[in-house]
Copies of this chain bind each other. A is one copy, B any other.
Amino acid sequence: MSEATNAYVESNQTRFLEELKEFLRIPSVSTLPEHFPDVHRAAQFVGDHMKSAGLENIEIVATEKHPLVYADWLHAPGKPTVLCYGHYDVQPPDPLNEWITPPFEPTLRNGNIYARGSADDKGQMYMQIKAVEALLAVNKTLPVNLKFLIEGEEEVGSESVAKFVAESPAKLKADVALVSDTELFAEGLPTLCVGLRGLIYTEIEARGPSRDLHSGMYGGAAPNAVFGLVELLAKLKDKNGVIQIPGMYDDVTPPTAAEQHSWATLPFDEADFLKNEVGSKCLTGELGRTVLERTWARPTLEVHGIAGGFTGAGAKTVIPAKATAKVSMRMVPDQDPDKIIAAYKKFVADNTPAGIQTEVRILSAGPAISVNPEHHAIEVAAQAFSDILGKETVFIRSGGSIPIVGDFAKYLGIPTILMGFGLPDDGLHSPNEKYKLANYYAGIKTIAHFFEKYGA
């Protein structure tokens, strides 16, 4: 581990933080059309700062939706090439009124920086750029070849980057990908994620009467779109969260005995998880399975939002004509998204109540991912991580989904190192998202150290 690089990071902390704050002030919400100009501004910010860090061949690549940012540094012949990936787009900040400080005015409290995107993923992605800056400033060269591919559609399905990866295998050729968009299993515990769940995101629209009807005149004879949708959704899972779609569990590969053993030794406190992370009356889910198995290695189905009928203050006695719900399914190895989508659509059609018409729209779909922890680059990353944090690296999975990792495997034939520095209570996608400042700086050092060891 290079003392000079670490010293550079330490002496530039204040500036690294100010730059991150500037980045976080851009409300680059990729799903909301009113923020599309901000998404473009964020892409430009990334390109500008790649350039000043010393990366070359910066390109802002136009796509059908949000731009990609490409850059490289390829002056280490005979050394491996790392493809660095991250995303500059963020989730919507709502519900706005639950933020203690505004989502796009980054604020420091208790050693954390609070802002939408601080942990997911601007703060983490920016560490990669700052690691390059540190190494080049200290050594005037890099120990490995680097390619950067930063996207702006991660929160809306990563379609453009998937297309770009599929169409540009030569340009993106590398030995391994490095993604910093995951979290430490616990404070100070170096963690590599070797499994991600897949995601199918859908909308269901239900229609009943041709217009909203008076519930006095028609109640008892006319179908109600909201109630019809409610009846349908309630059939999707049983009370323990077991998905009722036929065939849903047919292709589920259970975790290995070694994984199960390893997970049992992780510092996981279910009572603390309930109290400080979830905050509900009790946990829920499939009986006889641990929380880690339920969230990492089991398919799940969630309703993310529902809307229909009159929802203002007071009373309105309508039988609603229309209602919609957003429904997703997380998949595990070796579930096939196409097969699951077909079964889901059939289930919705078969269980649509009398008088109701339903339509299913698929917004995105990507399979689960697993990475071999014995791959050389993963082993080097694990060692670099241990060197900086001073503890043995653990291998975990995540219940989340990073579709690009599947694309790197499929089109470039390379594994991905999921080396992230978030913490379990960072509040991704929630109000008051935060990122721990100490992890931001440790992350820059760890990434630089990984490049050094991998190039050695």
Binding site for B on A (CB under 8 A): 30-33, 91-92, 94-95, 98, 155-157, 197, 199, 201, 207-224, 226-227, 230-231, 233-235, 237, 239, 241, 273, 277-286, 291, 294-295, 298, 300, 302-320, 323-326, 328, 330, 353-357, 363-364, 398-401, 424, 427-432
Given contacts A227-B237, A305-B318, A307-B311, list 9 more A-B pairs with CB under 8 A: A155-B316, A201-B315, A209-B279, A224-B302, A227-B233, A227-B302, A239-B354, A281-B354, A305-B310
Chain B hits for A218, CB < 8 A: 277-278, 295, 399
Q: Which of A213, A220, A277 has the most CB of B within 10 A?
A: A220
Query: Is the pair B221, A230 in contact by a Cβ cutoff of 8 Å?
Result: no
Q: Quick one: which of A222, A234, A306, A307 has the most chain B CB within 10 A?
A: A222
Contact A304 B324 (CB under 8 A): no
Q: Which residues of B contact A230 (CB under 8 A)?
A: 230, 233-234, 303, 306
Q: Are A294 and B431 closer than 8 Å at their CB atoms? A: no
Q: How close is A335's CB to chain B, nearest CB, in angstroms? A: 14
State how many copies of this chain the complex holds: 2
Nearest to A428 among chain B residues (CB) is: B214
Within 8 Å CB of A317, what residues of B? 199, 201, 302, 304, 328, 429
Determine whether the beta carbon of A320 is less than 8 Å from that of B295.
no
Q: Which residues of B contact A291 (CB under 8 A)?
A: 220-221
Partner of A315, one of B211, B226, B364: B364
15 inter-chain pairs at a CB distance below 8 angstroms, sorted by A residue, are A92-B316, A156-B314, A201-B317, A211-B427, A214-B400, A217-B295, A219-B300, A219-B330, A223-B281, A227-B233, A281-B354, A281-B357, A305-B311, A306-B306, A315-B326
Tell me, in angstroms, the Cα distance from A388 to B234 when the chains sit together.
53
The verdict on A429 contacting B197 (CB below 8 Å), with A215-B302, A278-B210, A295-B220 known, is no
Find A92's partner among B280, B300, B310, B398 (CB 8 Å cutoff).
B310
- Give A167 Cβ to nearest chain B Cβ, in Å: 24
Query: Shortest CB–CB separation between residue A10 and chain B, in angstroms?
Result: 31
